[in-house]
């Protein structure tokens, strides 16, 4: 179920459109499972996923003045172990990504589709948020913050902060992300990092009647593919509007 969290910033207008671009097989999986797939954070291509900026890492080595001299060595040892702990969290975090834009994105079509037979699901931030009503997991949703990992930093005491920050190189994504964590809790030892709670990802059930506002077919898809998408939607007794993208229409002079 959706749960607010101070690290996750909502758009100023909850009716802003969000998009998820996918190939046809992933679209079928969504209709069949009535679930969104959340990928484990360490399975993304970006090696910085879930990491901390340089400023945060260097700050760990600054011993606060209130730490007595005789305890400073232990403090530094504890801080050096923090990196090993932080390195674990992506294994227990799963993410589902969307693109915030009130218009279609030609760049997103190119980036996320392997062929012309692709789909874009369009909804709004509020509908995406409200669709997470069918799971016991806490799901946090908000905008990604793009920072310079060489000079910028963020609040280090918040375990979710690394998952709502990315490098400025990815700013074109304008990402909205939903995040769920499954801690490796052990009744005897507390946290057990030998335990897996997420293999590759998680299927999170969603209310399909709320989730999808409109379905767009790739601008370069053949007409038969658009008809196929419409017939598949009908077969699942869903009432979504299916529209072929007009990004390739001819200009007027």
What pLDDT, in 10s, does the model give residues 15-51? 999 999 999 999 999 999 999 999 999 999 999 999 9
pLDDT over 90 (residue 218): yes
Helices (H), the chain: 24-33, 54-59, 72-86, 106-112, 125-131, 208-211, 223-235
- Per-residue pLDDT tens over the stretch 181-217: 999 988 776 788 889 999 999 999 999 999 999 999 9
Lowest-confidence segment of 35-44, 70-79, 223-232, 243-252 by average pLDDT: 70-79
Q: Is the pLDDT of residue 113 over 90?
A: no
Mean pLDDT of the 109-128 span: 92
Alpha-helical segments (H) within 95-144: 106-112, 125-131
pLDDT for 18 equals: 98
Instruction: Kindly tell me if the per-residue pLDDT of 74 is higher than 80.
Output: no
Rounded CA separation 35/133 (Å)? 11
User: Is 106 inside any structural domain?
Assistant: yes
Question: Which two three-digit tokens encode residue 195?
Answer: 């335990």
Q: Who wins on pLDDT, 86 or 115?
A: 86
What does the pLDDT read at residue 116? 85
The Cα 57–Cα 77 span in angstroms is: 14
Mean pLDDT for 100-111 is: 94
User: Does residue 252 fall inside a structural domain?
Assistant: no
Is 90 exceeded by the pLDDT of residue 249?
A: no
pLDDT band at 66 (very low <50, low <70, confident <90, very high): confident
Residue 7 in any domain: the answer is: no
Inside any domain, residue 167: yes
User: 9 lies in a domain?
Assistant: no
91 has pLDDT over 90: yes
pLDDT given at position 147: 98
Query: Band of the pLDDT at 252, cuts 50, 70, 90?
Result: confident
Instruction: For residue 142, tell me if it sits in a domain.
Output: yes
| In a domain? residue 6 | no
Kindly indicate the confidence band of residue 154, based on its pLDDT and cuts at 50, 70 and 90. Answer: very high
The rounded percent of the chain whose pLDDT value lies above 90 is 74
What pTM does this model have? 0.91
- Report the pLDDT averaged over residues 135-163: 95
Looking up tokens 């007009």 gives 246
Tell me the C-alpha distance between 68 and 33, whole Å. 57
- Per-residue tokens: 153: 């930093």
The answer, yes or no, to whether residue 102 has pLDDT greater than 90, is yes
Mean pLDDT computed over every residue of the chain: 92
Total count of domains within the chain: 1
Per-residue model confidence (pLDDT) at position 191: 85
DSSP run (H or E) holding 176: strand 175-181
Q: Which domain holds residue 133?
A: 17-244
């Amino acid at each position: 179920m959706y749960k607010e969290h101070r690290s996750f910033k909502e758009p100023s207008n909850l009716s802003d459109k969000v998009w998820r671009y996918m190939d046809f097989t992933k679209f079928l999986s969504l209709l069949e499972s009535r679930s969104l797939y959340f990928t484990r954070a360490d399975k993304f291509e970006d090696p910085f996923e879930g990491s901390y900026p340089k400023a945060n890492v260097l700050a760990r080595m600054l011993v606060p003045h209130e730490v007595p001299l005789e305890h400073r060595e232990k403090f530094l040892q504890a801080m050096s172990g923090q990196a090993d702990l932080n390195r674990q969290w992506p294994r227990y975090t799963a993410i589902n990504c969307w693109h915030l834009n009130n218009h279609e994105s030609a760049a997103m079509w190119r980036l996320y589709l392997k062929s012309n037979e692709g789909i874009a699901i369009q909804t709004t931030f509020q509908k995406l948020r409200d669709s997470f009503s069918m799971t016991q997991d806490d799901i946090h949703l908000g905008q990604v913050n793009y920072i310079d990992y060489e000079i910028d930093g963020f609040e280090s005491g918040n375990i979710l902060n690394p998952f709502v920050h990315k490098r400025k190189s990815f700013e074109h994504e304008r990402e909205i992300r939903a995040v769920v964590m499954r801690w490796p809790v052990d009744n005897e030892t507390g946290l057990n990092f030998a335990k897996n709670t997420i293999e590759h990802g998680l299927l999170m059930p969603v209310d399909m009647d709320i989730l999808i506002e409109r379905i767009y077919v790739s601008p370069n898809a053949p007409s038969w593919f658009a008809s196929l998408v419409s017939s598949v939607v009908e077969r699942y007794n869903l009432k979504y509007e299916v529209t072929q993208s007009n990004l390739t229409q001819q200009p007027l002079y």
